[in-house]
Amino acid sequence: MSVPGILVAAPRSSSGKTTVTLALMRALARRGLRVRGVKCGPDYIDPAFHEAATGFPSVNLDSFAMGPALLDAVAGFAVRDADIVVAEGSMGLFDGVRAGEGRTGANADIAARYGWPVLLVLDVSGAAQSAAAIALGCSLYDARVRIAGVVLNKVASARHRRLVEAGLARVGIPVLGALMRDASLVLPERHLGLVQARETSDLDARLDRLGDLAVEGLDCDAILAAAGGAVPAGAGALPRPPGQRIAVAADAAFSFLYPHQAAGWRAAGAEIVSFSPLADEAPSQGCDVCWLPGGYPELHAGRIAAATTFLGGLRSFAETRPVHGECGGYMVLGESLEDAAGMQHPMAGLLPVATSYKSRKLHLGYRVAHPIADGILGRAGLRLVGHEFHYASESTPPPSEDEAFCRVADAEGTDLGFAGHRRGRVTGTFFHLIALDD
């Protein structure tokens, strides 16, 4: 599929990738182009911002978690009926895990696989000509990847810009735009990254402001001309649904469902029936599976504990049909959730786990898991790949093999023991599923 793409990346995190990505998306969409967003790596917040900026769903492409067939299927979904793909990287352009070429999870793998040129965002605060050395290093580090040009971010003055551009001219790397220092461009954040798109006040106005800045500060014509690459046609399939009618919790506390999962479920003919625990809604009894995605239940623990219709309906559902929870959903399926202030909130009591945010500890990384028993995600022993990112801790003992959902390892194969829980038809894990047996 010869839809051109460009990947917005940077040498490191916090360089301004999201700002430049959303600005470019909004500016191109204003031209009447059908812009599709892609997020490289395991991120479930940025795709919602992409959708807000473009009006079309965004997806994740992850070269570690997804095998080649699934990667191409998801990329094919992304370019369908599109005029251009704007992909956003995560962390640094080459940052990933130690794995075989093309399977590291780095942005560079995606750029190389689909031939998408890289628009490199350089945070030039505290540097001038030296920024060119960083850009040159990125252009030479991996022969599979082509740097189309750079966007300068956090430029202090016209003089500062001239100095940076002089360095880049010396190494022959074009400057395709510049953004001045502007604290008002920063989107609000919390412990997992950005505040969700649905929670960001005046989001449309913020995106329009970014679009204005792109028109003023980016050479959008040159960026469009630099876009290229292609996605193989007709390869692979999206994820299979866990049921025919799937009740999915969806509100400010439960929103971290990877877009390619939902797209695959719908493509296979399954129906997603949304409900809001925060509005005290129960899963529809007409569904055959219930799915509780992650999110921020710790910010709404009191409301969830008081949602008697939701909790009662969930318990009733679990008596006869499968229920699965990921991260925040897993915590809600447990006995209790302790918030950051140390207040205990009773949860559904369907799994023998209690969790706490009082003493925060970062849990981050890919998880390769094998379920102990047959269940909602597939047969026992199936290979699942997901990602874990949370600050909660378990205040109950680790699960035994008899009650664990799976055995897990990290991206390098280090055994992390048993994880998650299963009881009857109910299962839950701290990791978010990305792919299975691919």
Catalytic residue among 40, 287, 327, 406: 327
List of residues 6+ apart from 58 with CB closer than 8 A: 36, 37, 38, 39, 46, 47, 48, 50, 51, 78, 259
Tokens of 174: 């074009």
Instruction: List C-alpha distances in Å: 138 to 106, 171, 179, 275.
Output: 13, 12, 21, 46
Centroid of chain to Cα 337: 24
Euclidean distance between CA atoms 356 and 396, whole angstroms? 10
Centroid of chain to Cα 271: 23
Tokens of 49: 């911002």
Please check whether residue 86 is in contact with residue 8, taking contact to mean a CB–CB distance below 8 angstroms.
yes
- What are residue 120's DSSP bridge partners? 9, 150
Euclidean distance between CA atoms 59 and 38, whole angstroms? 5
Q: Which of 399, 220, 249 is nearest to 332 (CA)?
A: 249
The CB density around residue 429, as the number of other CB atoms within 10 Å, is: 27
Euclidean distance between CA atoms 156 and 123, whole angstroms? 11
Euclidean distance between CA atoms 172 and 434, whole angstroms? 39
List of residues 6+ apart from 77 with CB closer than 8 A: 59, 238, 260, 263
Instruction: Tell me if residue 239 falls in helix, strand or coil.
Output: coil
Characterize the bridge pairing of strands 189-190 and 245-249. unpaired
Q: Which residues of 91-213 form beta strands (DSSP E)?
A: 118-123, 147-155, 175-180, 189-190, 193-194
Tokens of 143: 């022969």
The CB density around residue 159, as the number of other CB atoms within 10 Å, is: 10
Residue 204, burial from CB neighbour count under 10 angstroms (0-12, 13-18, 19+): exposed
User: Known catalytic residue: 220?
Assistant: no
Give catalytic residue positions. 327
